[in-house]
Amino acid sequence: MRSDRIKKGVNAAPQRSLLYALGLTEEEINKPLIGIVSSKNDIVPGHTNIDKVVDAVKQGVALAGGVPIVFPAIAVCDGIAMGHEGMKYSLVTRELIADSTEAMATAHPFDGLVMVPNCDKNVPGLLMAAARLNVPSIFVSGGPMLSGSDWNGESASYSTMIEAISRFKVGEINENELKVCEENCCPTCGSCSGMFTANSMNCLTEVLGMGLKGNGSIPAVFSERLRLAKKVGMQIMELVKDDIKPRDIMTNEAFINALTVDMALGCSTNSALHLPAIAHECGIDLPFDTINVVSEKTPNLCHLAPAGNHFMLDLNKAGGVYAVMNELDKMGLIDKSPITVTGKTVGENISGCEITDNEVIRSKDNPYSKTGGLAVLKGNIADDGCVVKRSAVCDEMMKHSGKARVFDCEEDAVNAIYDNKINPGDVIVIRYEGPKGGPGMREMLYPTAAIVGSGLGNSVALITDGRFSGATRGAAIGHVSPEAAEGGTIALVEEGDIITIDIPNYKIKLEVSDEELEERRKNWKPKEPNIKTGYLARYSKLVSSGSTGAVLS
């Protein structure tokens, strides 16, 4: 066993003495030691129930003959961090989570690992750590939140709340209605109830083969979640026994499957950051353009919030991720050969998993669109590409041309929207918010929600070298690469320039001549870094482009 280096022989006597100090018996020390990475904390709603999930995992490990040992991972609540400097610390925690887990699991050589994440960055961070360590590993998330209600009693989620701010500011709802939404839109613990980043990545964990059926969709408050956690605890012992490792599971074929299901589900644009970063840890190149290749042949089968009025509970009732995969397999779009944490292949896992509600998961013969939920656009303003969640874009905005309204930070753009300085037809440009320029590549849910809540969702586009929450809807185009801080063309845009967006044809263009751009480039000067000390300053020096997953070099 991997743990033998701290358990066997005379030279391990000092380590054994410390294991005894933990209260372990000799019988326990002789069993496989299973590390359980717990993301439990008391500030993230998606993590407040994780102690119960971890306890269930521990029971499963013990039932199957292992010794469970818990250690922590951090997590940021993107919703609480949204709209202020705290959001600069969201994406960057992905690397902290991966690095700290690598450190803990190497310093203490566990025989297997159970990862218990939930919200946005600790799911990909722990997947990156699993790939890097390549120790038998399995995932079980804390589960999604139930949907809540708004001021009219309609189904609602966190994104409804953000948009309600603008509705209040323009007089569409009153203060009491705002408060009703505030108190009722997020009714339980769990990751926010739509197809936002956390739920996207937890669903894709199933597709990658690193989680059991239901990992992404069983609600946090269901007892079924605890039963799943116990099964996960038992299953890690099988993975250890059979020596099935993450890189055996997360193959190139598994990543193409993940992108395929991503397109069908209409996942968050953040998956375009996280899947390449996880693939990078597996030694696999997943180019940005792969999204379009997969999207062209993959129908969009689901419109979960914010794209529609269905939520994670609805997806779970309709058959979950495996039902989506089985439907895609009928079109020949799923590679059934990869092995998974079940010890079986993808094909064996999804066999017989049928859709039970064709309103929530549409059939291959009646998709929302013939192409997938994400699109990568390219043009002179984004030579390396940018990404949009086209499943959440209205028909009127699929093609758009308008005047640039230029802002060098998120706050200035939000103020302009709230002060009624943005006109129908405009294209808002928010720059110097990329991985290096932010630093940290902030999510832009506040400006996109302000656009929609102000009634401009059908007439105003937004482009940024930052990124978007999975809760964002509308013509919101992020990850513009190269970013402004690196001298990308987005840094050269001037107020009033015309920007043309053509999502169906994967194009975006700044309507300025090459000669004029070259002249502007001569006069461009790098912007003074926003932050010069601490972790973010170090991160800024090491981070790669958003088009390559914003990984550290």
Classify each residue of 122-132 as buried b or exposed e, where b means 16 or more C-beta atoms within 10 Å of its C-beta. bbbbbbbbbbb
CB proximity list for 365: less than 8 A, separation 6 or greater:
none
Q: How many Å apart are CA 387 and CA 383, to the nearest integer?
A: 12
User: Can you tell me whether residue 116 is helix, strand or coil?
Assistant: strand
Q: What is the dihedral of CA 212, 217, 219, 223, to 10 degrees?
A: -30
Beta strands in 151-239 (DSSP E): 155-156
Q: Is 370 known to sit in a ligand binding site? A: no
Q: Under the phi-then-psi rule, with left for phi > 0, alpha for psi from -120 to 50, and beta for the rest, what region is 345?
A: beta
Q: Does residue 428 contact residue 422 with C-beta atoms inside 8 Å?
A: yes
Q: Is 314 known to sit in a ligand binding site? A: no
Phi, psi of 33 (to 5 degrees): -95, 120
Q: How many Å apart are CA 49 and CA 40, to the nearest integer?
A: 7
Residue carrying structure tokens 């009693």? 153
Q: How many Å apart are CA 140 and CA 69, to the nearest integer?
A: 16
Tell whether the torsion through CA atoms of 396, 398, 401 and 406 is positive or negative: positive
Q: How many CA atoms lie within 13 A of 22 on its CB side?
A: 14
Q: Does residue 57 contact residue 146 with C-beta atoms inside 8 Å?
A: no
The DSSP result for 457-521, as a single string, is TTT-EEEESSB--TT--SSEEEEEES-GGGT-GGGG--TT-EEEEETTTTEEEE-S-HHHHHHHH
Q: Is 243 known to sit in a ligand binding site? A: no
The closest alpha carbon to 113, from 47, 208, 216, 32, belongs to 32
Q: How many Å apart are CA 160 and CA 74, to the nearest integer?
A: 27
Q: How many Å apart are CA 225 and CA 214, to the nearest integer?
A: 8
CA angle 375-377-383, nearest 5°? Answer: 145
Q: Is 395 known to sit in a ligand binding site? A: no
Q: How many Å apart are CA 61 and CA 31, to the nearest integer?
A: 11
User: Can you tell me whether residue 37 is helix, strand or coil?
Assistant: strand
Q: How many Å apart are CA 335 and CA 288, to the nearest integer?
A: 20
The encoded tokens of residue 428 equal 């808002």
Residue carrying structure tokens 């009491």? 176
The closest alpha carbon to 273, from 450, 447, 90, belongs to 90
**Which residues are tagged catalytic?**
469
Phi, psi of 277 (to 5 degrees): -70, -40
The DSSP result for 262-292, as a single string, is HHHHT--TTHHHHHHHHHHHTT----TTHHH
Q: Which residues are annotated as a binding site for Mg(2+)?
A: 78, 120-121, 443
Q: Which residues are annotated as a binding site?
A: 78, 120-121, 443
